[in-house]
Structure 1
Amino acid sequence: MADLEALHRPALTSKDTLDAPQLVGKLGEDGIAALKSHHSVGSDGLTFRADQERTETRDFVTSAAAIGEEDDSDDTLEDYDELEIDPDTLIANLRGMDDTMSATTGAQPSMSDGVGNTLGQLDTGPNGRHKKRGSIQIRLEKTDQKGRYTLTADDPEIRSILRKGIEREQLEASNKKPRTRFRDLVFTRQFTTFDRQNPASQDSPFFGFFTLFWIALVLLFLQVSLKNWREYGSVLGEQEIMKMMFSHDVWVLGITDAVMCAACFEGYLFQVLVRKGYINWGRGGWILQNIWQSAYLAAVIGWAYFREWPWMHTIFAVLHGLVFVMKQHSYAFYNGYLSGVYRRRALLEQRLQLLQVMEPMNSPPTSPSTSQHLELPLSSGVDFGDLVASPDGTALKRRPSMGQRTSTNLETEKSDVASVAQAIESGYPIDLDQKQTFERVIKAEIEDLTRELQGKSQGGAINKSYPHNLRLANFAEFISFPTLVYELEYPRQERINWWYVLEKATATFGVLCVMMVISQAFIYPAVLKTVRMKEAGMPIEERWREFPFIVSDMLFPLLIEQLLTWYLIWECILNLIGELTRFADRGFYGDWWNSITWDQYARDWNRPVHNFLLRHVYHSSISTFHLSRNAATFVTFLLSALVHEMVMALLFKKVRGYLFWMQLLQMPLVAFSRSKLLKGRVVLGNVTFWLGLFVGPSFLTSLYLVI
């Protein structure tokens, strides 16, 4: 085995290693390992031990999709689709270890699983699957202090692992969190679960139940239609619902929707003014945008209320108005944020130009005042010794402290970048080494800001980065896309499948017909009964006695209508719009029917709204108003509950608050589902979820109708 391992390990260039069979210890922030000899060697010559103080094991197949979870990376807070193996786990997950691994050394120090593979690359087996990595080649060199050694590695990936560990511990020690980006979501090509284009839908073991569901609905539709034809001479019965839909203000509703859509372009014009410098987004521009959005929503609600439309017209106008408000908000706040990033980059580019034309002063290379510490004016506090280049001259010893990405007040900002910029502005004499270091600091920040301005655009395309994205066509595309979160670029299809468009259009009208027949046959009679009880002056006590029977009458029809409404919007209409606009990310929902908690259902049944609330309510509450995660979660639920209650108030022409309090009740239910009583009990959690979804709509609707 030793000969086999030797074939896989290149010879070490350094002979300054130890003869001890094994060393254990901790790696310090300065890159120096404090080690001691350890002799409990396993059968394969290696020892792994748990040390939870130093290394954390991360599950690299789990995404941070839940509200309140935070990712350690700087690029994303919530990635549904671009999950990659974290290099940290390449060590921490070998051979079923718990948390960490101690360094072992022999004639040639290495960390191995006994197979002899080098941990610098992944080996591929005959079935195409990746094998586990085998060993890492490291080097321990003596220092002038007893028991302390410099740990190095030739593999750049291993160096990256060590660097990330040190940086993470520095953040933990200073109680600082890694910088997070505004662009926290990932859009990728994908299909909805029930789409026939999704191979997984046809390979599902429950495919037959999906077929059975639609056969049962078609048979129910035929049964009710035949009964209506025999009694009323029409498949829709007395057609009360059809008459309400098409007998009042249909053209006015269409014109209203067109006006709402046209008014959204205020967001584009507003951002053009921000880009040209007429409006400063950070100093009041965002307040003006919020005032406009509030006025917009108030106008939509007021118009729908005073027109006294039927409930279908009202719900359509208000919900579509809410969609337009969320689109305006996302477009304005993302581009407003990027405008601050753009202004900061321009300011730093000016400082860089000033630095490049500065003549460095001549200074003896051994002078401690020039090689170790620069006393900058304005009490900047930049330690030149901490910012020196690495031996290869390509990186800083530590990444300098960066300020907020949108900050342009470098005089008051507390960061290394701001201090360097102040020193450049002051014209204070610096030597050549200091000039080169300052240049690297500013260039590093400029590169980071440039990546932020490029967003998720593939390859950092200049024509799609800010401010080149501020085009009328770009805004018009976003308004038409089936998403509520603005990005500089989305995955697109190459062409439109018109047969698919025809399929989804036919499915849309077909589902509408089924819903109309079920509503006319099963829901309308129960609603009419409650209206007649009120018109007859029936006392509240007698209406309460009828309440259980009304709930029972509407249990099954309301559940079917709820399922069909969801399928109509998130499977038929959104896929239809996505195909017409060549929008390739069809992740409009997750497998919410398998939910075991209410927060899981809230995330999965309506992904577009969830993504909006996650970015613009939850994370914005934390970053802007410095709320805790629990407080931000409460604010998110509160806003959602208020919007739902507003819709019910418009629908029933009264404010009762039943849905509002039921929405807020989800928070203690979520906490209860995570308790020891329900945690890990998947079947019980799913049964509880379906009981709530089954009884809840009928119970709430009956409350609004009876009381």
Structure 2
Amino acid sequence: MAADLAVADAADSASDGSESSTAIPSDGGSAIGIDDLAHSHAGKASPSSSVCVFVEKANASRRRTRPLTADDAEFRAIIQSGIEREAAKRSGKARHRFRDLVFTRQFTTFDRQNPRSQSPFHGFFTLFWLAMGFLLLKIAAQNYRNMGSVFGRAEIVHLMVDRDLFVLLATDGLMCLCTSFGLFLHRAIARGYLTWTRSGWIIQSVWQIFFTGSVIWISFYRDWPWTHTVFIVLHDFVLLMKQHSYAFYNGYLSRVYRRRKLLEQKVGQLDDLASQRRPSSTPSNTPTTSATSTQDASIHGPTPRRRAIGPRASTNFSSEESEIATMAKVIDAGEPLDEEQSQTFRRVLTTEITILDDELRGKCTTTDNAYPKNLTFYNLAEWTCLPTLVYELEYPRQESINWWYVAEKSAATVGVIWVMIIISQAYIYPVVVETLRQREAGMSFEQRCMEFPWVVSDMLFPLLLEQLLAWYVIWECLLNVLAEITRFADRGFYGDWWNSVSWDQYARDWNRPVYTFLLRHVYQSSISAFHLSKTGATFVTFILSAIIHEILMFCLFKRLRGYLFISQLTQIPMAALSRTKLMKGQDTLGNVMFWIGLFIGPSVLTSLYLII
């Protein structure tokens, strides 16, 4: 959890989503772009067909071909960049639009279904689990020798099951039910009882604060052990992000929906004015020439002037500065229009309505789930179970569920959790108990500081193992179980973070679901809603990440110290250091520094919270 919420490189990777490279270099030769690829692949209906990319080397007279399948990272990069470029052509850089995220079919790195999982280093993966097996045998033998049982005293297991287990499960179920608050709110907004811009977002924000505060209060009131607290607080943060994404994306769509209804009303008023036509003349206060040119550009031109037509989610024509708003004011004035003006206004308005219909449909292939048809209990329940934190109207899905795969990953989830419990019981729990005993015995601050290095060294290896196993059980096992049950096809839950050469790269690849959430709902929203610069939005993202991490540590240790908060903020200068000339091209040095930080950091932070 040390860096999964940090987004140091968001300013470089997300600020202009429409400007991304569309070419794939290969073997030093020429590259092929998305337009060429789309042209060569046109007419092929099979999704599993390969795309042959011709690569011509500059120093060779013959040409080679290399097939790209739909699951290849290069192919997904081409498709994503092409979609973003096309979206940029259609919409321009609309400041109030949510960032487009492309979901594609892909597998996690260590998943056996991934055709690329058999890497040259697969043997080290096997060696790691063999080492874990021998370590468990060693711990079991020691427990049997010292206590007559292979399980030892099993204090952590007793913490998990002996106290308030059913209360914990009931609280978690109630949390899931409470996420339906956003559904009721947006149904009221869709029916016109409330508006998102005036009161809806305020109500939702107050609810989110109350939701999180209530869960934290319950954990303190029940005085739950750390096992219960970790589970309930982390799940609370997950549900909080899901509620936020669901509410604010639907809030944006509600504005688009309201704008479309207003434009439909203007078309109706335009029809009423048709009977009052006067001789053809173009008054100076009507935007006939400008509107006509805009409409011609939107139909015949390669890049429509989207900003000239108007903001996509604006519902206030009196303050809006666009040609659509000017037309609305002319129509509201009730002045009779000649036939040419009436036809021009109608074309522009109907084109805008069509564009808004596309926005309301989002990534849906049909209109069955377009806003506001998506505001159903089934859609909300499905969204709650999906292994993503960014709400969309539709995601890529698999055709069927492989229940043997579900059983395999479920067994792996239970097995890895059991391994984590055994390692914690054998190597972490005794150190924690002894440290707390020393504090309660009245050991002085100086004496505790003298013990600090020894506590750090005792927990170095077990905490590193726990961190690796926690990552594996969540992002490789548990999320794949949810993805298979829900037929969720995009399983890019993480990247090759173990090859990171900087902390910002690690933050992007360690936890992709949280990274994409922060990218859309914190970084981009800071720029669009609060008009912050890229640097300011990055800093806000870091601050929020640090606060959330510190809240978790406060719930665990019942003490507010700020060590993790400060540690999170130190990633800003470290990320800046990785971009200096000193570190450019020093991949091995960067990776060594990254692993040293990941190795030492958790032990140092845990020891600080325990001792000081």
* TM class, shorter-length: 0.7 to 0.9
Contact 1:382 1:420 in 2 (8 A): no
Correspondences of 1:267-666 after superposition (within 5 Å): 267-356=182-271, 358-359=274-275, 361=277, 370=282, 374-376=283-285, 383=290, 386-387=293-294, 389=296, 394=300, 399=305, 401-458=308-365, 461-666=366-571
Q: Distance in 1 between matches of 2:247 and 2:37?
A: 46
* Cα distance per residue 1:96-145 (max 9 Å; x no partner): 9xxxxxxxxxxxxxxxxxxxxx9996599x9932367xxxxxxxxxxxxx
Assess, with a 3 A threshold, how the Cα gap between structure 1 residues 94 and 218 changes in structure 2: closer, same or farther: closer
* Correspondent of 2:121 among 206, 214, 218: 206
Q: Which residue of 2 aligns with 1:155?
A: none
Alignment partner of 2:163: what SS? coil
Shift of 1:402: 2.6
Contact 1:456 1:489 in 2 (8 A): yes
Shift of 1:208: 0.8
Q: Distance in 1 between matches of 2:98 and 2:498?
A: 31
Q: Distance in 2 between matches of 1:648 and 1:633?
A: 23
Q: Distance in 2 between matches of 1:128 and 1:408?
A: 47
Shift of 1:434: 2.9
Q: Which residue of 2 aligns with 1:672?
A: 577
Q: Which residue of 1 aligns with 2:53?
A: 129
* Cα distance per residue 1:60-98 (max 9 Å; x no partner): xxxx9941136798xx5699xxx8559xx9xxx9979xx
Assess, with a 3 A threshold, how the Cα gap between structure 1 residues 526 and 474 changes in structure 2: closer, same or farther: same
Which residue identity lines up with residue 179 of structure 2 in the other structure? C
Alignment partner of 2:368: what SS? helix
Shift of 1:603: 1.2
Which residue identity lines up with residue 670 of structure 1 in the other structure? A
Which residue identity lines up with residue 196 of structure 1 in the other structure? R
Q: Which residue of 2 aligns with 1:47?
A: none
Which residue identity lines up with residue 105 of structure 2 in the other structure? R
Q: Distance in 2 between matches of 1:583 and 1:388?
A: 40
* Correspondent of 1:262 among 162, 177, 191: 177
Which residue identity lines up with residue 52 of structure 2 in the other structure? G
Contact 2:186 2:251 in 1 (8 A): yes
Q: Which residue of 1 aligns with 2:79?
A: none
Assess, with a 3 A threshold, how the Cα gap between structure 1 residues 127 and 642 changes in structure 2: closer, same or farther: closer
Task: State the TM-score, normalized to the length of structure 2.
Answer: 0.85
Contact 1:389 1:397 in 2 (8 A): no
| Cα root mean square deviation, aligned | 3.3
Q: Distance in 2 between matches of 1:261 and 1:290?
A: 18
* Cα distance per residue 1:499-551 (max 9 Å; x no partner): 11111111111111211111111111211221121122111111111111111
Q: Distance in 1 between matches of 2:19 and 2:10?
A: 9
* Cα distance per residue 1:601-624 (max 9 Å; x no partner): 111111111111111111111111
Alignment partner of 2:543: what SS? helix
Task: State the TM-score, normalized to the length of structure 1.
Answer: 0.74
Assess, with a 3 A threshold, how the Cα gap between structure 1 residues 210 and 394 changes in structure 2: closer, same or farther: same
Alignment partner of 2:116: what SS? helix
Shift of 1:672: 0.9
Alignment partner of 2:415: what SS? helix
* Correspondent of 1:69 among 4, 8, 12: 12
* Correspondent of 1:196 among 112, 116, 119: 112
Which residue identity lines up with residue 128 of structure 1 in the other structure? C
* Cα distance per residue 1:399-423 (max 9 Å; x no partner): 3613222212112211011111222
Contact 1:381 1:419 in 2 (8 A): no
Contact 2:395 2:488 in 1 (8 A): yes
The runs of at least 4 aligned residues of structure 1 exceeding 6 Å deviation read 70-73, 93-96
* Cα distance per residue 1:269-304 (max 9 Å; x no partner): 111111111111111110011001101111000000
Q: Distance in 2 between matches of 1:363 and 1:131?
A: 63
Alignment partner of 2:309: what SS? coil
Q: Distance in 1 between matches of 2:447 and 2:160?
A: 32
Q: Which residue of 2 aligns with 1:239?
A: 154
Contact 2:463 2:602 in 1 (8 A): yes
Assess, with a 3 A threshold, how the Cα gap between structure 1 residues 396 and 665 changes in structure 2: closer, same or farther: closer
Alignment partner of 1:128: what SS? strand
Contact 2:258 2:315 in 1 (8 A): yes
Q: Which residue of 2 aligns with 1:699?
A: 604
Shift of 1:179: 5.7
Identical aligned pairs, as a percentage? 53
Alignment partner of 1:463: what SS? coil
* Cα distance per residue 1:365-386 (max 9 Å; x no partner): xxxx64xxx4226xx7973574
Alignment partner of 2:53: what SS? coil
Q: Distance in 1 between matches of 2:190 and 2:569?
A: 40
Question: How many residues get paired?
Answer: 564
Q: Which residue of 1 aligns with 2:166?
A: 251
Assess, with a 3 A threshold, how the Cα gap between structure 1 residues 304 and 130 changes in structure 2: closer, same or farther: same
Alignment partner of 2:12: what SS? coil
Alignment partner of 2:10: what SS? coil
Which residue identity lines up with residue 525 of structure 1 in the other structure? P
Which residue identity lines up with residue 288 of structure 1 in the other structure? I
Contact 1:595 1:689 in 2 (8 A): yes
* Cα distance per residue 1:22-67 (max 9 Å; x no partner): xxxxxxxxxxxxxxxxxxxxxxxxxxxxxxxxxxxxxxxxxx9941
Q: Distance in 2 between matches of 1:67 and 1:318?
A: 26
Deviates more, 1:517-526 or 1:666-675: 517-526
Shift of 1:444: 2.4
Alignment partner of 1:645: what SS? helix
Higher relative contact order structure (alpha carbons within 8 Å, sequence separation ≥ 6): 2
* Correspondent of 1:184 among 100, 104, 110: 100
* Cα distance per residue 1:660-699 (max 9 Å; x no partner): 0000111111111111111221111111111100000000
Which residue identity lines up with residue 573 of structure 2 in the other structure? P
Q: Distance in 2 between matches of 1:646 and 1:66?
A: 24
Question: Higher Cα Rg: structure 1 or 2?
Answer: 1
Give unpaired runs (5+ residues) of structure 2. 1-6, 43-49, 57-81
Shift of 1:218: 0.9
Q: Distance in 2 between matches of 1:483 and 1:505?
A: 19
Shift of 1:394: 5.0
Which residue identity lines up with residue 11 of structure 2 in the other structure? G
Q: Distance in 2 between matches of 1:289 and 1:254?
A: 25
